[in-house]
Amino acid sequence: QVQLQESGPGLVKPSQTLSLMCTVSGGSISRGGYYWSWIRQHPGKGLEWIGYIYYSGSTYYNPSLKSRVTISVDTSQNQFSLNLSSVTAADTAVYYCALQLWLGSWFDPWGQGTLVTVSS
Amino acid sequence: EIVMTQSPATLSVSPGESATLSCRASQSVGSNLAWYQQKPGQAPRLLIYGASTRATGIPARFSGGGSGTEFTLTISSLQSEDFAVYYCQQYNNWPRTFGQGTKLEIK
């Protein structure tokens, strides 16, 4: 079955860009109907959906983050990535990647998550 | 944006007893509601989708109900591994939104 694994720096300086990668295994990122999302969880807090990408490159972002978010896909590497610009301490969180089997479905499975701390 | 409100924030229950968790949506989401379980240091795990359908491998002691704006997750005969944080999530509207979670703790 599909598995996801996040990777990237665990520490980012304020005002810089946070960049994370999600590697998909056990299935093709180019499979029709699959939508690939990023979700984050602030320490000790709830969950916030960031945005999704389709293998074609089509994206949709949470309006609350839209001005700072870019999600891209590399089908040759079976990966998709998250860039979040102009980060502040408020962007410190565990970042998860997750799969939606179709656009109108729930999130399953999830990656294990990666903690990103924004600090100088 | 649809606001999901879970109650209570913390629920203390003894092993072997049942627990009922609530989730309310600020507007109707139909049956497009999922429940997740999260243990410390782990990613959320899908329990229920479609408000009442158990995900693959989820024990029958987990049951979901409701539609529209009011939903429940009931866990019967609580086992030690069930004590965790539970989140509801609507997938009827964009952006997708989650409740703030209910922590189920051992009494």
The pLDDT score that the predictor gives to residue A107 is: 98
The pLDDT score that the predictor gives to residue A69 is: 98
| Buried b / exposed e along B36-56 (16+ C-beta atoms within 10 A) | bbbeeeebbbbbbbbbbebbe
Shortest distance, CA A115 to any CA of chain B (angstroms): 10
Query: Which amino acid makes up residue B38?
Result: Q
The dihedrals phi and psi of A91, each to the nearest 5 degrees, come to -95, 0
Query: Which amino acid makes up residue B27?
Result: Q
Query: Which amino acid makes up residue A77?
Result: Q
Which residues of A are less than 8 Å from B97 in CB distance?
Answer: 49
CB-based contact A20:A95 (threshold 8 Å): yes
* Residues in chain B where the model's pLDDT stays below 50: none
Which residues of A are less than 8 Å from B98 in CB distance?
Answer: 46-49
Shortest distance, CA B34 to any CA of chain A (angstroms): 6
Dihedral sign for Cα B12, B35, A109, A16, please.
Answer: negative
Q: Which of A47, A52, A59 to mutate to test the interface with B (most CBs of B within 10 A)?
A: A47
Strands, E, within chain B: which ranges?
Answer: 4-7, 10-13, 19-25, 33-38, 45-49, 53-54, 62-67, 70-75, 85-90, 97-98, 102-106
Query: Which amino acid makes up residue B23?
Result: C
Question: Does the distance separating the beta carbons of B46 and A107 come in below 8 Å?
Answer: yes
* Torsion angle (degrees, nearest 10) of CA B40, A4, A33, B63: -30
Shortest distance, CA B91 to any CA of chain A (angstroms): 6
CB-based contact A93:A43 (threshold 8 Å): yes
* Distance between CA atoms of residues B70 and B31, nearest Å: 10
Shortest distance, CA B18 to any CA of chain A (angstroms): 24
The pLDDT score that the predictor gives to residue A9 is: 97
The pLDDT score that the predictor gives to residue A21 is: 98
The pLDDT score that the predictor gives to residue B34 is: 98
Write out residues 37-96 of A within 8 Å (CB-CB) of B. Answer: 37, 45-49, 60, 62-64, 96
Which residues of B are less than 8 Å from A37 in CB distance?
Answer: 96
Q: Which of A22, A107, A115 to mutate to test the interface with B (most CBs of B within 10 A)?
A: A107
* Residues in chain A where the model's pLDDT stays below 50: none
Question: Does the distance separating the beta carbons of B91 and A105 come in below 8 Å?
Answer: yes
CA A28 to chain centre: 17
* Distance between CA atoms of residues A15 and B73, nearest Å: 41
The string of pLDDT tens digits covering residues A16-33 is: 999 999 999 999 999 999
CB-based contact A108:B55 (threshold 8 Å): yes
